[in-house]
Structure 1
Amino acid sequence: MLVPPHPQDGPASSVAAPPQAALLEFRNVQIVYDNAIEAVRDVSIEVPKGQIVALLGSNGAGKSTLLKAMSGILHTEDGSLDNGSIHFGGEDVSHLAPDTIVRRGLVQVPEGRRIFPALTVEENLVIGGYTTAAAVVRERREQAFTLFPRLAERRHQIAGYMSGGEQQMLAIGRALMAKPALLALDEPSLGLAPLIIDRIYEVIAALRRDFAMTVLLVEQNAQRALQIADAGYILENGRVVLDGPADKLARNQDVQEFYLGLSSAGHKSMREVKHYKRRKRWLS
């Protein structure tokens, strides 16, 4: 069962905390598909322990590819890690099997949720805890029901008949059954209604705040991600073009104009955004 490491009774101290060691590191990673198409080039990313790090970028920037490499499933799409390494807890996990990676506490919620539609909510959760003892599975299942009361209400419902938002809750709950040290979420807000997105983000923030969980948040929704993240990286065409503290990125003019659609005159039109994209020179 997820148990908070200590109570959060008062406001956070005003004294700056010392820098956290990186729990997850991508070191000069290069990923190639079909031995020909370079999807990611020389990417280095650090995810400090106990923080939320946002990985942002447009569709096709390489975000999901990095998560697949992290989870050991690149080979399913004829992808390969041609250079660099991925370290978790100080150990190189670049070539470990997916189930070994999960057992070490590195767990991903994939884009599109990927639940088992023919099984019930409860059965989906039980499958998520396949690496642990039955008694522990029961404890973690109740924790998932506490975080997502709607899942408790529908515990015997066939998952495939649930709404997209409910399926996303189930996907996150299933991942938590493995008791991750680091939870990677791939586009958790994609295609969801605003109220459901609010709930998903409340849970993400609570996982870090109450359970000291480390989170790698992959999103196209830069505004929402930067609101709860400690730090962020922005990918373009398989390369990191900007990185830094989340609040600094949110104030960056390039990010405001292109990713948040804002300028000094307010929201930009799509024509203006496209023009801005043509003239920006982040990769130079």
Structure 2
Amino acid sequence: MASLPQAISTAPPALAVHNIQVVYGGAIEAVRDVSLEVRSGQIVALLGSNGAGKSTVLKAVSGVLDTEDGEIEKGSVHLFGEAVERAPAPAIVAQGMVQVPEGRRLFATLTVEENLVVGAHLQGAGRLAETRDYVYTLFPRLADRRKQIAGYLSGGEQQMVAIGRALMSRPKVLALDEPSLGLAPLVVTEIFNTIRKLRESSGLTILLVEQNANRALAIADYAYIMENGRVVLDGTSEQLRRNQDVREFYLGLSSQPGRTSMKDVKHYKRRKRWLS
């Protein structure tokens, strides 16, 4: 007996960005015509060098551009089908998306547990305790340090607190800004294993902004590469891993000996096929 055809999902993406332009101070264009999609249950990476515009995109979709005199001048952002490009950050959090900012930005004088509680301001007492226990299960080290002042923790432990604080609001979409920044390799491995575990265990949707392309592509389903405020390439992680330019300029894997001199690195933009 023939099987019935699979129904095609018509649900909107968890997050959809369409041709946004972001301007700072009414004059400085930081992002132009950027579009991307994050489907429910996916890990999508936004890659690029420092200054490419990745964090600006994350701030735009999280509603926090106004803190730096930034504004979405054109385009749209939809969260589960609802337009949020003009929504304030608290409304976006209430709708299900939470950002873990670059640099952690903890309340340094509060304890680990107090920082976590701050992230649960939308939750009742019962759900707060349940979610806190879940965070401690993800990060056992934080359970041991729950009464310690957050400012005295190591960089890796502070990153765990920052992720845990975001999870306390029970988000549907987690936006991570440079989670590996300034961390030792072993700690980075632990953080990225946890990000993968979050998706596998709870189906959490994740938008990951990251400079470490190797780490990001190892856990992402799909990725976009930004340069000079624009998306220049996108594809599945496997497709990007096979791309010769991505391998050379982002993964440090050159198929041609002798192309890793400082002169080659200095003039690398001239050889990129996506910029030709």
Q: Structure 1 residue 260: deviation in Å?
A: 1.1
Q: Which runs of 5+ in 1 are unaligned?
A: 1-15
Q: Distance in 1 between matches of 2:242 and 2:251?
A: 10
Cα gap change, 1:140 to 1:17, in 2 (>3 Å): farther
1:74 aligns with 2:65: yes
Helix, strand or coil at the partner of 1:58? coil
Cα gap change, 1:132 to 1:66, in 2 (>3 Å): same
Q: Structure 1 residue 277: deviation in Å?
A: 2.3
1:157 aligns with 2:148: yes
Query: 1:261–1:273: 8 Å Cα contact kept in structure 2?
Result: no
Which residue in 2 is equivalent to 1:243? Answer: 234
Helix, strand or coil at the partner of 1:282? helix
Q: Deviations over 1:81-128 (max 9, x none)?
A: 000010000000111111111011100000000111000000000000
TM-score (norm 1): 0.91
Query: 2:12–2:80: 8 Å Cα contact kept in structure 1?
Result: no
Which residue in 2 is equivalent to 1:130? Answer: 121
Q: Deviations over 1:211-245 (max 9, x none)?
A: 00000010000011000100000000010100010
Which residue in 2 is equivalent to 1:13? Answer: none
Helix, strand or coil at the partner of 1:209? helix
Letter paired with 1:204: I
Which residue in 1 is equivalent to 2:275? Answer: 283
Structure 1 segment 54-73 matched on structure 2, within 5 A:
54-73=45-64
Q: Structure 1 residue 274: deviation in Å?
A: 2.3
Q: Distance in 1 between matches of 2:83 and 2:154?
A: 38
Q: Distance in 2 between matches of 1:23 and 1:198?
A: 27
Query: 2:12–2:81: 8 Å Cα contact kept in structure 1?
Result: no
CA RMSD of aligned residues (A): 1.7
Helix, strand or coil at the partner of 1:206? helix
1:222 aligns with 2:205: no
Which residue in 2 is equivalent to 1:108? Answer: 99
Runs of 4 or more above 6 Å deviation? 16-20
Q: Structure 1 residue 271: deviation in Å?
A: 3.4
Q: Structure 1 residue 22: deviation in Å?
A: 1.4
Task: Return 273-282 or 49-58, whichever deviates more.
Answer: 273-282
**Of residues 250, 266, 271 in structure 1, which corresponds to 2:263?**
271
Q: Deviations over 1:123-181 (max 9, x none)?
A: 00000001111111111111000000000000000000000000000000000001010
Q: Distance in 2 between matches of 1:274 and 1:147?
A: 42
Q: Distance in 2 between matches of 1:166 and 1:126?
A: 17
Query: 2:241–2:247: 8 Å Cα contact kept in structure 1?
Result: yes
Which residue in 1 is equivalent to 2:132? Answer: 141
Q: Distance in 1 between matches of 2:109 and 2:7?
A: 47
Query: 1:55–1:233: 8 Å Cα contact kept in structure 2?
Result: yes
Q: Distance in 2 between matches of 1:17 and 1:41?
A: 36
TM-score (norm 2): 0.94
Q: Structure 1 residue 203: deviation in Å?
A: 0.7
1:175 aligns with 2:166: yes
**Of residues 195, 216, 223 in structure 2, which corresponds to 1:232?**
223
Letter paired with 1:250: R
Letter paired with 2:115: N
Query: 2:245–2:273: 8 Å Cα contact kept in structure 1?
Result: no
Identical counterparts, % of pairs:
64
Q: Distance in 2 between matches of 1:28 and 1:253?
A: 27
Q: Distance in 2 between matches of 1:17 and 1:31?
A: 37
Query: 1:257–1:273: 8 Å Cα contact kept in structure 2?
Result: no
Q: Structure 1 residue 268: deviation in Å?
A: 2.7
Query: 2:17–2:78: 8 Å Cα contact kept in structure 1?
Result: yes
Letter paired with 2:82: E
